[in-house]
Amino acid sequence: MQIFQKPANKVGGEFSFDGDKSISHRLVLISVLLRYEICLSNLSRCEDVKTSLKAVQKLGVRVREIGDFTYLDGSEVKEHSTDSEPIELYCGNSGTTARLLCGILACLKGNYILTGDESLSKRPMERVAQPLRRMGVDITCSNNDCFPVIIKSTGKTKSIIFENITNSAQVKSAVELASLALCKGEPPTQIIETNPGRDHTARLLKQINLKQPVIKSFTIPGDPSSAAYFAGAAALFNNSSVNLKNILLNKSRIGFYEILQKMGAEVEIISNNSTYEPYGDIVVKGKKLRGITITGDQIPTMIDEVVLLGIIMSFADGISEVSGARELRVKESDRIAALIIGLKQLNIICEEREDGFVIKGQNILNGSLKSNENILLKCFNDHRLCMSFAILALKSSNGLLISDSECVNISFPGYFERLKNFILE
């Protein structure tokens, strides 16, 4: 489905957001290993997290929805023989569901097969299979190291020293979760990272006792990646501001906001509290932006926002460069190639590189990018591209057509309606 996104001259407002998608996934999936009920508030309503909910239900987790609360009870989850008929778990479009499930299933004796949609079936799974094999898990990838993935789990693992060379938080989390089933006497698993990324799994595991409840309820802070599109849009208009309420402020997730500030936007981060994760408000006001260079050591803290940064760089003063972002090529699409294709359609001067891109800013801050409603930007069914191109359309003269608009539901249901309310002029 295509959508026509209108331009804007001014944006702003105060917004709250659904719970962080990464934390939502982890809490849902960890419920498989618990023998008691936990209560989640502000759980993400996106399609990816719904996929995780369906997967844990198939494994035996009881899910109850009461108002704004989601109750998950894993007390009836059962182990199975490795010779039994495999349990098929459909992972949809969700790489997080698929990879973290591999770590969860390493702890749950049985025979399993993981499948996904056309897009997910093309994404690499050997990167998670390799460390799990070293931990003693019988895991097989098909079709050029992709899906379907077959796991025959004994429910016991052994420790390893794992170097996370891809800096993938999903792979790291799978190893951390599989380590919950270490055989008696095994030393702790060691994980080595050059550029440390998201630590949500480690934080949660410090709070959760697999046998006896320590914390029974979790309020999930707002998703900083969803909020980033509104922050980025506000930064592009020098007469605009936005107040983002109760946002996750984990340092591994707010690199985008720090980069906005370095580019010249006015960014205020107001810490409210810290429980198992820090959270607070973020206020962003538009100012004249300047180009910036982003290197690989910064990428893990903004991996979901790099495409959006490419849009913002298109309007900054000077040349911007991103390197060390090769991981973007194995997301729902090749996000580096797709971003550059879209920008070149609009005559933005840019260059694709193996692990990033270079963009020459247009130095235009008041909505005069030449375009017309006949220009169609292809999103390759990638939600991050679609949402980012919608922000680009706000700076166009006449608006833009954007393909595959329904894919935003993967991470942000109601995104375009929210964006409509964000436009003031």
The alpha carbon of residue 138 and the mean position of all alpha carbons in its chain are separated, in whole angstroms, by 28
Assess contact for 350 and 369: CB atoms under 8 A.
no
* In contact, 220 and 24? CB cutoff 8 Å: yes
* CB distance 400 to 373 below 8 Å: yes
**117 counts as catalytic:** no
- Cα distances (Å, whole numbers) of residue 6 to 79, 365, 391, 398, 399: 53, 16, 10, 7, 4
* CA–CA dist 103, 177 (Å, integer): 5
Angle separating helix axes 200-207 and 21-30, nearest 10 degrees: 40
* CA separation, residue 398 to residues 51, 166, 356 (Å): 37, 41, 29
Reported as type and span, the H/E element at residue 232 is helix 224-236
- Find where tokens 């109760």 sit: 246
CB 393 within 8 A of CB 365: no
Residue 154 CA: distances (Å) to CA of 105, 151, 209: 9, 10, 21
Q: Which member of 18, 304, 382, 404 is catalytic? A: 304
3-state secondary structure of 117: coil
How far apart are alpha carbons 47 and 407 in whole angstroms? 9
CA distance readout (Å), 166 to 68, 203, 355, 378: 36, 21, 13, 27
> CB 108: neighbour CB atoms within 10 A?
22
Residues identified as active-site: 304
